[in-house]
Structure 1
Amino acid sequence: MTSPPPRIPTFPPPRWAELDAVTAALAARAEQHDRDASLPHEGIEQVYRASLLTATVGARFGGPGGGLADTVRILRALGAGDPAVALIAAMTLFAHAGQARTLHWPAGVYADLLAEFGRGPTLVNALRVEPELGTPVRGGLPATTARRRADHWEVTGHKIFSTGAAALRWMLVWARTDEQPTRVGTFLVRADTPGITVRPTWDHLGLRASRSDDVHFDAVRIPLDHTASLAAPGADAGRDAPAGAWNCLGLTALYLGVARAAQEWLIGFLHERVPTALGAPLATLPRFQSAVGEIDVALSGAERLVAALAAGVDAGETGAAEQSTGAKVLGTRAAIGAVEQAVALIGNNALSNTNPLQRHLRDVLCSRIHTPQDDTVLLATGQAALRRRAAVPPLSKGQ
Structure 2
Amino acid sequence: MSDERQALRDSVRSFAERHVRPAAAKHDRDESYPAAIRRKAAENGFVAPTVPTAFDGPGRDVRDALLIAEELWRADPGIGTALISADAGTRLIDRYGTRQQKSRWLPRIAAGEAVSAITITEPDHGSDVASIETTARRDGSEWVLDGTKTWVTNGSVADVLVVLAKTNTGAGHAGISTFLVPSDRPGIETETLAGTLGLRAADFAAVEFDAVRVPATNLVGEVDDGFAQLLTFLAAGRATVAAEALGAASAVVERVGEQIAAEDCPPSHRSQPRGDACYLDLRSSVAAARSLTYRAGHALSERPGEARSERLANMAKLYASETAIDVVDRGLELCGPDTGSTGPSLEKYYRDLRATTIIEGTSESIRSAIARQLLEE
TM-score bracket, shorter-length normalisation? 0.7 to 0.9
CA gap of 1:265–1:116, structure 2 versus 1, over 3 A, is same
The counterpart of 1:358, out of the listed 347, 357, 360, is 347
1:256 aligns with 2:246: yes
Where does residue 85 of structure 1 map in the other structure?
79
The counterpart of 1:289, out of the listed 253, 276, 297, is 276
The counterpart of 1:217, out of the listed 204, 209, 213, is 209
Where does residue 301 of structure 1 map in the other structure?
288
The counterpart of 2:20, out of the listed 20, 26, 48, is 26
Greater radius of gyration (CA)? 1
- Cα deviation, residue 140, structure 1: 3.3
Instruction: Please give the per-residue CA displacement for 1:204-238, whole angstroms capped at 9, x wherever unaligned.
Output: 11112212111122222211110114434xx6655
Where does residue 371 of structure 1 map in the other structure?
360
CA gap of 1:241–1:44, structure 2 versus 1, over 3 A, is same
- Cα deviation, residue 365, structure 1: 1.1
Q: In the alignment, is the contact (CA less than 8 A) between 2:52 and 2:58 conserved in 1? A: yes
Q: In the alignment, is the contact (CA less than 8 A) between 1:106 and 1:227 conserved in 2? A: no
Q: In the alignment, is the contact (CA less than 8 A) between 1:242 and 1:321 conserved in 2? A: no
Distance 1:346 1:307 in 2: 29
Aligned partner of residue 210 in structure 1, secondary structure = coil
- Cα deviation, residue 276, structure 1: 11
The amino acid that maps onto 1:203 is: G
Distance 1:362 1:45 in 2: 26
Q: Count matched residues.
A: 365
Mean Cα displacement is larger for which, 332-341 or 364-373? 364-373
Root-mean-square deviation (CA, aligned residues, Å) is: 3.0
Distance 2:374 2:215 in 1: 47
Instruction: Please give the per-residue CA displacement for 1:65-117, whole angstroms capped at 9, x wherever unaligned.
Output: 211101100000111122233323333445333344x2x11221221113434
Unpaired runs of 5+ in structure 1? 1-13, 389-399
The counterpart of 2:233, out of the listed 243, 260, 263, is 243
Aligned partner of residue 165 in structure 1, secondary structure = coil
Where does residue 393 of structure 1 map in the other structure?
none
Q: In the alignment, is the contact (CA less than 8 A) between 1:163 and 1:213 conserved in 2? A: yes
Q: In the alignment, is the contact (CA less than 8 A) between 1:56 and 1:97 conserved in 2? A: yes
Q: What fraction of aligned residue pairs are identical, expressed as a percent?
A: 22
Distance 2:162 2:201 in 1: 21
Distance 2:245 2:138 in 1: 41
The amino acid that maps onto 1:358 is: E
- Cα deviation, residue 275, structure 1: 8.3
Distance 2:275 2:211 in 1: 59
CA gap of 1:203–1:118, structure 2 versus 1, over 3 A, is closer
CA gap of 1:131–1:273, structure 2 versus 1, over 3 A, is same
Unpaired runs of 5+ in structure 2? 1-6
Q: In the alignment, is the contact (CA less than 8 A) between 2:264 and 2:335 conserved in 1? A: no
Instruction: Please give the per-residue CA displacement for 1:121-150, whole angstroms capped at 9, x wherever unaligned.
Output: 421121111112x21x42533222223222
Where does residue 58 of structure 2 map in the other structure?
64
Where does residue 397 of structure 1 map in the other structure?
none
Q: In the alignment, is the contact (CA less than 8 A) between 1:242 and 1:313 conserved in 2? A: no
Q: How does 1:1-399 map to 2 (within 5 A)?
A: 17-24=10-17, 25-93=19-87, 95-100=89-94, 102=95, 104-117=96-109, 120-132=112-124, 134-135=125-126, 137-177=127-167, 183-232=175-224, 242-273=232-263, 286-316=273-303, 319-347=308-336, 349-350=337-338, 356-386=345-375
Distance 1:305 1:130 in 2: 31
> TM-score scaled to structure 2, two decimals?
0.86
CA gap of 1:116–1:62, structure 2 versus 1, over 3 A, is closer
- Cα deviation, residue 194, structure 1: 2.4
Distance 1:175 1:212 in 2: 20
